[in-house]
Structure 1
Amino acid sequence: MADSAQAQKYSLSFTSIGARRLETAEVARAFADCRDWAEVRRRIVEDDIISLNKESTRKRVGSEIVKRLRTLDDKEVAFLADAVGDDQLAMTWVAICRAYPVLRAFSTDVVAARYAGMVPDVPRTAWPAFVEDEAADHPELERLTEKSRKQLETRAFGMLRECRLIDGDYNITPLYPSARFVALVRETAPQDLAVFPKAGALL
Structure 2
Amino acid sequence: MVDDKIKYSTAFTAGALLLRETEAFVAEIKDYDAFLDGSENIDFSVIPVNAESSKKRLKHEIEKRLFAINNGNLLNQFLTSDKSGKNTILFYGICKCYPIIRHFMLEGVLNKWKNLDFELEINDFSNFIYRKMDFHPELAKITDKTVYKCGQVVLKMLKDLGMLNKNKLQKIAINNAVLGNIISTGDSWFLDVILLSESEKQGI
- TM-score greater than 0.5 by the shorter chain: yes
Residue 196 of structure 2: aligned partner: 198
Match status 1:62 vs 2:59: yes
Distance 2:130 2:50 in 1: 39
The match for 1:71 among 68, 72, 80 is 68
Residue 180 of structure 1: aligned partner: 177
The match for 2:13 among 2, 12, 15 is 15
Residue 41 of structure 1: aligned partner: 42
Identity of aligned residues (%): 19
1:27, CA displacement in angstroms? 2.2
Across the aligned residues of Structure 1 and Structure 2, the Cα RMSD in angstroms comes to 2.1
Distance 2:63 2:28 in 1: 11
Compute the TM-score of the two structures, normalised by the length of structure 2: 0.85
Q: Which amino acid aligns with 1:117?
A: N
| Contact 2:28–2:42 (CA under 8 A) maintained in structure 1 | no
| Contact 2:68–2:93 (CA under 8 A) maintained in structure 1 | yes
Distance 1:26 1:110 in 2: 33
Distance 1:24 1:109 in 2: 28
Residue 137 of structure 2: aligned partner: 139
1:154, CA displacement in angstroms? 1.5
| Contact 1:15–1:152 (CA under 8 A) maintained in structure 2 | yes
Distance 1:52 1:181 in 2: 28
Q: Which amino acid aligns with 1:173?
A: Q
How many residue pairs get matched?
195
Distance 1:163 1:92 in 2: 9
| Contact 1:112–1:198 (CA under 8 A) maintained in structure 2 | no
Q: Structure 1: any 5+ residue segments left out of the alignment?
A: none
Distance 2:156 2:117 in 1: 20
What whole-Å deviation, never above 9, does each CA across 1:123-162 have from its counterpart, x for those lacking one? 3321222112222221222321111111112222122222
1:6, CA displacement in angstroms? 4.4
- Greater Cα offset, 33-42 or 82-91: 33-42
Distance 2:19 2:128 in 1: 25
The match for 1:80 among 78, 81, 90 is 78
Q: Which amino acid aligns with 2:170?
A: T
Residue 156 of structure 2: aligned partner: 158
Distance 1:77 1:194 in 2: 22
Q: Structure 2: any 5+ residue segments left out of the alignment?
A: none
The match for 1:111 among 91, 105, 109 is 109
| Contact 1:28–1:77 (CA under 8 A) maintained in structure 2 | yes
Distance 2:81 2:91 in 1: 13
